[in-house]
Amino acid sequence: MLTFANVNSFYDRSHILHNVSLEIPTGQITAILGRNGTGKTTLLKTLMGLTDRSEGQIRLESDDLAVLPTFRRARAGIAYVPQGREIIPDFTIRNNILMGAFARTDGKREIPPLVAELFPYLMQNLDRNGGVLSGGQQQQLAIARALAADPKIILLDEPNEGIQPSIVQEIESIIVKLNRELGLTVLLVEQNIPFVRRAAQRFAMMEKGRVVEFGGIERLSDDMVHRHMAV
């Protein structure tokens, strides 16, 4: 289990997360919800050690992640697919994927069979530059890069944002498959409530840098969504 205990996080002097305590059960999809600017992305970045400063405990099983640099957190089994994907446009598809493999602890630097199974288009175009891909294909590439790390947990920050509708359903199906069939723990920042209700087993609702609601997905009522997510 991944746990946050009284976590605070900062960008320079800006205090973004306030005493966040949260449990992310192994083998489930936990959705992180809330309006824009409530700290959802900062929660993922704090987990990866990518904010200016943080306080509190972040534990993955017996490991205290809060004292580790980012690359050690990746090697502990956490892969991050950031908002905006952040692939390297001048690198080939092959090299973008293989970047993820440097987080493996077994020394293997290869494209795993799972990537070939999930993303046949990428495998057929390994020598094309990532920058020529569509937004949806770049999202597939970012997920493939994360899977090359052989992670225990994958962090997905609004994976359907800015993606053509024809690929949204495919991305959603892949996320569900990673969890249901492969047992991967998923921490998902997402605004699409119908998808969250179909895919996630648990949720955490954020407001002004704090977790204000948390529980099984059956607790995610329309009233709660309106109170904490309506603009």
Residue 146 pLDDT: 97
Token pair listed for 75: 């090697």
CB atoms within 10 A of CB 136: 19
Could you tell me the strand order of the sheet in which 210-216 lies?
78-81, 153-157, 185-189, 29-33, 202-207, 210-216
Residue numbers in the chain where pLDDT is lower than 70: none
Residue 22 pLDDT: 97
Report the b/e string of 187-225 with b at 16+ CB within 10 A. bbbbbbeebbeebbebbbbbbebebebeeebeebeeeee
Domain count, the chain: 1
The answer to whether position 80 is within a domain reads yes
Residue 224 pLDDT: 96
Could you tell me the strand order of the sheet in which 14-24 lies?
14-24, 2-11, 53-60, 63-64
Residue with tokens 């020598």: 127
Residue 8 pLDDT: 98
Token pair listed for 195: 């998808």
The answer to whether position 160 is within a domain reads yes
Residue 162 pLDDT: 83
The answer to whether position 164 is within a domain reads yes
The answer to whether position 108 is within a domain reads no
The answer to whether position 117 is within a domain reads no
Residue 84 pLDDT: 87
Residue 167 pLDDT: 87
Cβ 120 vs Cβ 85: under 8 Å: no
Residue 173 pLDDT: 94
Residue 34: CATH number of its domain = 3.40.50.300
The answer to whether position 106 is within a domain reads no
| Consecutive H or E run containing 203 | strand 202-207
Amino acid at 75: R
The answer to whether position 28 is within a domain reads yes
Give the contacts of 53 (CB within 8 A, at least 6 positions apart).
Answer: 9, 10
What domain range is 172 assigned to? 2-86+152-229
Residue 101 pLDDT: 95
Q: For the segment 28-59, what is each residue's pLDDT rounded down to a tens digit?
A: 999 999 999 999 999 999 999 999 999 999 99
The answer to whether position 94 is within a domain reads no
Q: Checking DSSP bridges between strand 185-189 and strand 78-81, what pairing results, if any?
A: unpaired
User: Interior CA angle at 79 toward 219 and 173, to 5°?
Assistant: 55
Residue 65 pLDDT: 95
- Taking Cα atoms as reference points, which of 64, 63, 9 lies closest to residue 40? 9
Residue 63 pLDDT: 87
Residue 227 pLDDT: 95
